Structure 1
Amino acid sequence: MIHQIRSTDGTGTLSYLLVDEQSRHALIIDPNKEDLDAIVKLVKEQRATLRYIIETHTHVDHVSAAHELKNLFGAQLLMHENTKNKWKIVSEGERFGIAETLRANAAMEVDRYVNDGETLSIGGITCTFLYTPGHTDNHISVLYEDNVFTGDLLLIGQAGRSDLPGGNVEDHYDSLTKKILSLPESTKIWPGHDYEGNTFSYLRDEKRTNPFLQQPTKEAYAKFVSEFFPPLAESIAGGKMTIQCGVQRVISNSREPFKSITPDELETLMKTTPNLVLLEVREPFELMAFGKIPGVVNIPTEQLLSRMNELPQDTSTPIVCICQSGSRSYEVAHYLATRAGYRTVYNLDEGTFGWVQSGKKVERGSVKI
């Protein structure tokens, strides 16, 4: 069972609690100190025994909760072998104003160092560690069945920076092309950050849409990265700065043949429009794991063309397209309005995530993923 913990501290940090259903033993990946209360609550709700903490790398944008979780649960901290050189990047972080965060993370005692190809098993869960440097020189990704937790190496629609202390753009390119792209296309990508409300993405979709995975050479990749990310400003007089490891995407819907609506607007439509269709385009297991707005009809994006007959034949029927963040539903709304002929199409901006953030209820369940 995978449980995703989304930070509310503005860093876009995502942590993951993996719980073995039989033994109730658990591990957590990239816990954020700001989310400590939520993590502890989740562990207790799951009646889990937290055995291991995995940090994919030494973070620059938030302080890890590993120290507190070690003390609370007696869990062991695992990181890559190169973490032994962690104090070197602390001094490098001074000029960017991030030494304080690096110092706090470097002070944590690592119980086990891991290398590429090593595994960790708890109950029925077996994880394989992939050494994926580039964002930092101690970065690992964690492979579990058809899931890969990519930390700050690969994000949804983009990738992490490689110009921070310990980063290297050529290593980053090699990690993406030789490690991540060698995985099956059905692999689910679970990133360490997301700034759009996404939960995960399939590798096949990232290969198709993520420009970081489409650069043909290291030289082309380095040029693309240098133009994609804003330059890092150096700290003035030792000041403290907050670093964002990716960038927030800005999309304008002004020319689209459908309307983007807020959660409040959707709530009003649900009360005033009897024939309104709520089309939820996520996978069924996402609805079970992360919740769904009551009354939705579920047709996953990839099944839309083969299941169009399940939608109303009357093209004047109003349809609201919904996903976790508003990204997948945006594409579906565009298709329904431009290709399928529906005249009243809406996209729920910020998706179910925005719905929940605005205080509205979802139906929840549990599912093995």
Structure 2
Amino acid sequence: MIFRQLFDSVSGTYTYLLASRPGGEALIIDPVLEKVDRYLQLVRELDLKLVKAVDTHLHADHITGLGALRDHTQCITVMGEQTKADVVAMRVSEGDRVTIEGLSLDVLYTPGHTDDSYSYVMGGRVFTGDTLLIRGTGRTDFQNGDPRAQYDSIFNKLLRLPDETLLYPAHDYKGDTVSTIGEEKRFNPRLRVKSIDEYVQLMNNLNLPNPKMMDVAVPANVHIGLHQDEIARKGWAVSATQALDLRGRTDVTLVDLREKSERERHGVIPGSIHAPYPALQENFDAGGLLHALAVSAGKRIIFYCAFGERSAMAVQAAQDVGLKTACHIEGGIDAWKKAGGPVAS
């Protein structure tokens, strides 16, 4: 397995690059905007294909690299379902799995530092974001932070992982790179409390200054989405209401770009076909499903995904290979449901 821990000294942020093998799919956790060129260089050097970029929560001390990585690589952006970010391609909740070729991360909802904080468990590792740090815990005094929720996340979820589980946080300001669940149980001073009320009192009296980048980083991190209005201005988009009118026409095919787990959880538009976003290029090639539909069968392809980000990128890719009738549903199946569109399990 390929595992790289990268550091941004300005914000004290750790970023993690994961892949199961050289030449394979890769995933990155908590990227920093200013380091994107370095990440892309490393991806090239290791002969990887970046397919997913994950933020553990909405960061206040740096601007995320999610949007820039998406623009450079057309990767899928991933955050928790509570995020305030405007458009994220995939929103996860507890019990979900974030998968790439050869690797799978179990999703844990661990609020407290923020209300959209998540941790990701992979084998003997856990990526804890700012919920549980090395010999510390994330502050709980802004972005809907809640020390009671954090106590529950730490004591009833993270600390129940095996003691030997390696703990990788999103930040460290002392130079520590990794700990274990067992170490934190024994040596983390924030965890030496006798009750949830004692923890709440401790966290409510830290009196820390706001992060220096907070007023810049939070608004920027809320607006990371692909600008779907650019696709619409080019005439490559339909509203959910318009898509409802087109559904059932013999010259139109609806194409679902989401992953199997998303389809099972949120349902599908009846009659649509499944062509997962990661396999888009091979489906566009001669002999591929989408090429056959658009070129051989003369169908108009209408892409959709969860919220419209993947489908907007898919439309651009289709146009680039000459499939000029392709378009997408603005806002994805989320907008479709709000418009009253039927959904099948």
TM-score, length-normalised on structure 1?
0.56
Contact 2:132–2:138 (CA under 8 A) maintained in structure 1: yes
Residues 232 and 146 from structure 1, CA distance in 2 versus in 1: closer, same or farther, beyond 3 angstroms?
Answer: same
Contact 2:105–2:121 (CA under 8 A) maintained in structure 1: yes
Partner of 1:48: 48
Selected match of 2:119 from 120, 123, 141: 141
Partner of 1:74: 74
Partner of 2:102: 124
Q: For 1:262-341, what aligned pairs fall within 5 Å after superposition?
A: none
Whole-angstrom CA distance in 2 between matches of 1:18 and 1:216: 37
Task: Confirm whether residue 201 of structure 1 aligns to residue 179 of structure 2.
Answer: yes
Query: How far did residue 242 of structure 1 move?
Result: 8.6
Letter paired with 2:158: I
Q: For 1:179-198, what aligned pairs fall within 5 Å after superposition?
A: 179-198=157-176
Gaps of at least 5 residues in structure 1 are 87-105, 244-369
Contact 1:56–1:151 (CA under 8 A) maintained in structure 2: yes
Contact 1:186–1:203 (CA under 8 A) maintained in structure 2: yes
Query: How far did residue 22 of structure 1 move?
Result: 5.7
Residues 140 and 234 from structure 1, CA distance in 2 versus in 1: closer, same or farther, beyond 3 angstroms?
Answer: closer
Q: For 1:73-222, what aligned pairs fall within 5 Å after superposition?
A: 73-83=73-83, 86=84, 106-107=85-86, 109-222=87-200
Query: How many residue pairs are counted as aligned between the two chains?
Result: 216
Contact 2:59–2:217 (CA under 8 A) maintained in structure 1: no
Partner of 1:272: none
Partner of 1:8: 9
Aligned partner of residue 190 in structure 2, secondary structure: helix
Partner of 1:340: none
Aligned partner of residue 27 in structure 1, secondary structure: strand
Task: Confirm whether residue 62 of structure 1 aligns to residue 39 of structure 2.
Answer: no
Whole-angstrom CA distance in 1 between matches of 2:216 and 2:72: 30
Partner of 1:354: none
Residues 234 and 156 from structure 1, CA distance in 2 versus in 1: closer, same or farther, beyond 3 angstroms?
Answer: closer
Identity between Structure 1 and Structure 2 (%): 36
Whole-angstrom CA distance in 2 between matches of 1:188 and 1:231: 28
Q: For 1:351-366, what aligned pairs fall within 5 Å after superposition?
A: none
Contact 2:14–2:169 (CA under 8 A) maintained in structure 1: yes
Whole-angstrom CA distance in 2 between matches of 1:161 and 1:75: 31
RMSD of equivalent CA atoms: 2.1
Residues 182 and 38 from structure 1, CA distance in 2 versus in 1: closer, same or farther, beyond 3 angstroms?
Answer: same
Whole-angstrom CA distance in 2 between matches of 1:56 and 1:242: 15
Whole-angstrom CA distance in 1 between matches of 2:44 and 2:23: 14
Letter paired with 1:130: L
Contact 2:134–2:176 (CA under 8 A) maintained in structure 1: yes
Residues 68 and 174 from structure 1, CA distance in 2 versus in 1: closer, same or farther, beyond 3 angstroms?
Answer: same
Residues 233 and 118 from structure 1, CA distance in 2 versus in 1: closer, same or farther, beyond 3 angstroms?
Answer: closer
Aligned partner of residue 104 in structure 2, secondary structure: strand
Residues 172 and 22 from structure 1, CA distance in 2 versus in 1: closer, same or farther, beyond 3 angstroms?
Answer: same
Partner of 2:207: 230
Query: How far did residue 162 of structure 1 move?
Result: 0.6
Aligned partner of residue 40 in structure 2, secondary structure: helix
Aligned partner of residue 181 in structure 1, secondary structure: helix
Partner of 2:33: 33
Query: How far did residue 203 of structure 1 move?
Result: 1.1
Letter paired with 2:24: R
Letter paired with 1:6: F
Letter paired with 1:172: Q
Aligned partner of residue 160 in structure 2, secondary structure: coil
Query: How far did residue 202 of structure 1 move?
Result: 1.1
Aligned partner of residue 204 in structure 1, secondary structure: helix
Whole-angstrom CA distance in 2 between matches of 1:200 and 1:119: 23
Whole-angstrom CA distance in 1 between matches of 2:75 and 2:210: 37
Contact 1:23–1:123 (CA under 8 A) maintained in structure 2: no
Query: How far did residue 8 of structure 1 move?
Result: 2.6
Deviations 1:323-343 (A, max 9, x none): xxxxxxxxxxxxxxxxxxxxx
Contact 1:134–1:175 (CA under 8 A) maintained in structure 2: yes
Whole-angstrom CA distance in 2 between matches of 1:205 and 1:52: 30
Aligned partner of residue 82 in structure 2, secondary structure: helix
- Moved >2 Å (runs of 4+): 229-235, 239-243
Aligned partner of residue 68 in structure 1, secondary structure: helix
Query: How far did residue 224 of structure 1 move?
Result: 1.8
Residues 241 and 64 from structure 1, CA distance in 2 versus in 1: closer, same or farther, beyond 3 angstroms?
Answer: closer
Contact 2:22–2:48 (CA under 8 A) maintained in structure 1: no
Gaps of at least 5 residues in structure 2 are 219-345
Deviations 1:111-163 (A, max 9, x none): 11111011122222111010000011111101010100000101111011111
Contact 2:127–2:170 (CA under 8 A) maintained in structure 1: yes
Aligned partner of residue 82 in structure 1, secondary structure: coil
Contact 2:120–2:128 (CA under 8 A) maintained in structure 1: yes
